[in-house]
Structure 1
Amino acid sequence: MEQKKGIIILMGVKFSFSIVQSSRALYIFKKLKEQFPDTYIIMRKNEEEKIGWENLIQVKPIVPISGKFRLLKNIFVTIQMTLLSLWHIVSKRVGYVILRGYETILLYPFLKILNIKIYTDYHGKSKQEYIQQKRHLRALFVNNIERLSLYLADRIIVVSNGVMTQIQEYKDKCIYIPNGIDIDAINGTDHACSIKLPDNKKIIGFIGNWEQFMKIEDLCECLKYVNNCIGVIVGEGYKADNIMDKYGEAENIIFTGKLLREDVYALLHKFDICILPYDKNDKHSLYPDYFSSRKAKEYIAAGKPIIVSEVVGRESWLIENQNCLLYESGDPKDLAEKIGILLNDEELYDKMCTNNRELSKIFIWDDIIDQSGLIEDIRGTKI
């Protein structure tokens, strides 16, 4: 049988297990490389975090992105990475390419001419985020690029059933690969927690990027209504400066900023309850089973009980009173009440911890990819 050669390409992120997009690509790459040794991955170079794997191609931007004229610099770096990607595609004579992000659109015409199979890793309509930010010109631009990339793709990798409902016209091209987790990395770490926490407080935590559909304010506000608790919020993102300015002086809230994966997992094991504060007013929340956040799966792998906002888009596998409690999005008093229920019901608390550890086993990366049909599709044994 002919050996399949392929390249995974992400232009907008660095190599890192601490970045969701990068981590997802690295785990898919690791699994595919076991089956197809001539598999490569291209992303931006990370000077801080070293990953010693073969076939990793790190690209250092010729022009540093930071400082003024960032948009112009990003365009220049995108062109740089496009040209370098094309060189590797041609020189290595690959048969398939997995792409993520609208920055890769310049590759599509060349891939079609070269008759290379295109897999697009698609995570939902980006235009909605830009519309909510009132960046309408950017929304129009990105929407047209995404529509073209979906049309030209031979296969579309989707991260959730909710994402698939957004592109029903392409459902026959879709391959379902939700975000997975590395249970051994989460529970096997002996890394010391770098954040000092009080010993006499219950820890209510959140980890991950603050996506636009996360209502971090719910967690911050609810701490006004609970006793003997402290909130620990890891990461940053949408409206981070405003939120930190508003709540940064609160005695019972700790903002850690971005942390490396080992620090995150060490801190996660200190949490008593984990929160998924989805915003009911965000359009993503309206699609059933839309969200497939890595943080939710990391929570359950660590055996933590979860409180999640009751929105249509929340993870369907989080069952009320089995894996989680539900609260009304935008109602911090309701969230505080649910925290109190969990902390005062030892039987319910322990049941959720046990259930969630068991549930996490279905989200192991290797199993998810094996069950997706991606490997068979690359081999050409699945239509």
Structure 2
Amino acid sequence: MRVAYVCADPGVPVFGTKGSSVHVQEISRAWRRAGADVTVYCTHAGTERPADLADLTVVELPPRRADGEERERAIGEAAAALAEAVVRDGCDVVYERYSLFSPALALVAGTLGVPSVLEVNAPLIEEQQRYRQLFDVRLAEAVLHRNALAADTVASVSEPVVRWVEGRVPGAKTLLAPNGVNTERIGPRPHGRRHPRRLTVAFVGTLKPWHGVPALLTAVALANTESGSSGHDGRWSVKIIGDGPGRQDLQRAAAGLGVEAEFTGAVPPDAVPGLLHGCDAAAAPYPQPLPGQGDYFSPLKVYEYMAAGMPIVATAVGQIPSIVEDGRTGLLVPPGDASAFAAAFRRLGADAALRERLGTQARAAAVGLYSWDSVLSRITATLPLSQGVAR
């Protein structure tokens, strides 16, 4: 079976350090493990190619240089060129990661008549309007409508995204397909190697406002102050794995709060497991979404924390309460409650057995419930495939 994976968003490098890049790579791996011959068609290949994907065929057609509304048209043109390449090469399934201006899936499925999947990871039209700038809203809406109706399955990462697709494109064949994790790439952390009086909490992600890292720094500062005054073990430092526009502000905030913080910068996905293994816990400090912003994310970092056997402290927003079981695979706290977050750190700092138990149970849940193979299996089960896909 030949699978054409289309990623026309130039902001998503196939071989990059972003969570979106990890998603592209992992779905490609899952297709290959299922026995498919995968070719990725993209506008941005990236440079961080993992060794196990060295033989993955990639066709890269970058958009022409342009700004503003003309750039949006250029991306659409590049996506149409990718579709032409897929049609020329042929495929048995076309699988596209939804991007704002790409008509590729509809073009390929309409020409070749092959099964098709549109993978929707976020309500990009609203996201682009809120955080960046969307010049041609009608084009973005028309592309979504065309592709979603052409797809045999619109695989959406969360219930809010399912509802968003159905609200914008009545008749779309939606499927809930949350993110997963590669439990072979991310193994469990070794036990007994960390210092009992100096603990480190990890955060993995792009340093942007909606990830809540300032709240994490505040909570660590509060936990350290209260632990010190009570004489308890477990002073916390922070390891920030990732980069983004908020890095300098976060560095200043950490210094002002007296929190010891290491900023690794952007790292290739293969480096993440080792960095996590050197830490004692991991955090997902998402804030409460503002009215109208929604909680549509499927938190890739949380699945990775679980696979690494990390005790997790996370805010109870979005899908997180359905993934992390409070007191069993992690500790959940209300968003915006620095005192509750700090109390969770103090609890973990004072109880090594609790840290180990939460981490072990988190790893077991990741292995049993959240593999990328199971994600892909749910998707392919909905397709009219003429050739079987291993399950």
Partner of 1:314: 320
SS in 2 for 1:42: strand
Query: For 2:308, which of 280, 302, 305 is the aligned residue?
Result: 302
**1:176 corresponds to 2:183:** no
SS in 1 for 2:155: strand
Q: Which stretch of structure 1 is more off in the superposition, 105-114 or 273-282?
A: 105-114
Instruction: Report 1:291-370 matches (<5 A).
Output: 291-361=297-367, 362-370=369-377
Counterpart-to-counterpart distance in 1, 2:359 and 2:259: 28
Query: For 1:101, which of 98, 101, 126 is the aligned residue?
Result: 98
Q: CA deviation at 1:109?
A: 4.9
Partner of 1:56: 57
Instruction: Report 1:29-68 matches (<5 A).
Output: 29-35=28-34, 37-43=36-42, 44-49=44-49, 51=51, 52-59=53-60, 61=62
Percent of aligned pairs with the same amino acid: 17
Instruction: Report 1:220-239 matches (<5 A).
Output: 220-227=217-224, 228-237=235-244, 239=246
Query: For 2:203, which of 203, 206, 209 is the aligned residue?
Result: 206
Alpha-carbon spacing, 1:350–1:312, altered in 2? closer, same or farther (3 Å):
same
Gaps of 5+ in 2: 225-234
Counterpart-to-counterpart distance in 1, 2:265 and 2:307: 22
Q: Deviations over 1:290-333 (max 9, x none)?
A: 44222111111111111111225424031111122222322323
Question: Would you say the 8 A contact 1:129–1:212 is kept in 2?
Answer: no
Amino acid at match of 1:150: A
Q: CA deviation at 1:72?
A: 5.4
Instruction: Report 1:74-113 matches (<5 A).
Output: 76=74, 79-83=77-81, 85-103=82-100, 105-111=102-108, 113=110
Counterpart-to-counterpart distance in 1, 2:329 and 2:248: 32
Counterpart-to-counterpart distance in 1, 2:271 and 2:185: 12
Partner of 2:230: none
SS in 2 for 1:232: strand
Alpha-carbon spacing, 1:239–1:137, altered in 2? closer, same or farther (3 Å):
farther
Partner of 1:256: 264
Q: CA deviation at 1:158?
A: 1.6
Q: Deviations over 1:43-93 (max 9, x none)?
A: 323334355444522416386x7xx9588567546534531x233222223
Gaps of 5+ in 1: 191-196
Amino acid at match of 2:375: I
Q: Which stretch of structure 1 is more off in the superposition, 126-135 or 350-359?
A: 126-135
TM-score by length of 1: 0.81
Q: CA deviation at 1:242?
A: 3.6
Counterpart-to-counterpart distance in 2, 1:19 and 1:211: 12
Counterpart-to-counterpart distance in 2, 1:324 and 1:309: 10
Partner of 2:280: 272
Amino acid at match of 1:267: L
Q: CA deviation at 1:186?
A: 1.5
TM-score by length of 2: 0.79
Question: Would you say the 8 A contact 1:291–1:315 is kept in 2?
Answer: no
Q: CA deviation at 1:275?
A: 0.8
Alpha-carbon spacing, 1:314–1:171, altered in 2? closer, same or farther (3 Å):
farther
